[in-house]
Structure 1
Amino acid sequence: MTTKIISAAALAIAFIAGWKTSSWHHDSQRLVAERAAQQVADKALLRESQIADIVEQRLANLHANERVIDRGVIREIQKPVYQRLCLEPDAIRLLNHAAQYTGADPAKSAAPLP
């Protein structure tokens, strides 16, 4: 009877030891997988931060070279119907007034109006 108790106890100890060893093995595999995933995430974060640094430097250089000169937009539209016709005196007066308003002197222009 004592041998049966001893063998049952040995069998229980072996089962518990196997269970514990299996648990340690699964924990070890899980730890290896977590460390590998963390290494991949760290490498990706490092690579992305390097790319972000490069982009930031290029944007800083672009911003330093940027100049905004706001002088307004001047458009001249020539319609074909007005190219070969003489202007009326009222139209010339309006053009001279517009030239004086913008700061241009029609008397000093290369081609004075008739």
Structure 2
Amino acid sequence: MKLRIVIVAIALAIAAGGGWISRGWFEDAQRLTEERAARLVVDAAMAREADIAGVVEDRLAELDANERIIDRGIIREIQQPIYRNVCLGDNAVRLLNDAAAGRAPDTTEPQAQMPADTAAAE
């Protein structure tokens, strides 16, 4: 009788241990599947973002050339004699310098009136 109880106890212990080990294998397999699925999602997102980054980079390369053309047009416009000799007085130069430096115009000095013949210059 004691031998049967010992054999049954050993069989139950082996069954419990085997169940414990097989449950661990099952959980490990589930974790591995989850990790692989997460890696696939991350890889797909990275590939999609790399494609978008390539398109944005190409577009920015095109825009860089457009900016240079716009800047040249502005430089030519400012260098025309009418802008240097007729329109820009001391106050206008000061305002342009303040704007280029990112400062607010100095309002402590009285502003000079524009000459009456400025409209005729156009």
How far apart, CA to CA, are the structure 2 residues paired with 1:56 and 1:21?
Answer: 52
Q: Partner of 2:57 in structure 1?
A: 56
| Structure 1 match to 2:41 | 40
> Which runs of no fewer than 5 residues in structure 1 stay unpaired?
77-90, 93-98, 100-114
Deviation at 1:3, TM superposition (A): 1.6
The runs of at least 4 consecutive aligned structure 1 residues that moved more than 3 Å come to 73-76
Aligned length: 79
Identity %: 46
Q: Secondary structure at the match of 2:13?
A: helix
Question: Match of 1:17?
Answer: 18
Q: CA RMSD in A?
A: 2.5
Whole-Å separation in 2 of the counterparts to 1:29 and 1:39: 15
Q: TM-score, normalised by structure 2?
A: 0.57
Give the aligned partner of residue 83 of structure 1: none
Distance 1:6 1:63 in 2: 84
The structure where helix makes up a greater share of residues is: 2
SS of equivalent residue, structure 1 residue 62: helix
Q: Output aligned runs, 1:54-93, within 5 Å.
A: 54-66=55-67, 67=69, 68-69=71-72, 70=75, 71-72=77-78, 74=83
Distance 1:64 1:30 in 2: 51
Q: How much does 1:31 deviate?
A: 1.1
Structure possessing the higher radius of gyration over alpha carbons: 1
1:42-73 residue CA offsets vs partner (Å, 9 max, x unmatched): 10111011101011001101212332121428
Gap regions ≥5 residues in structure 2: 88-115
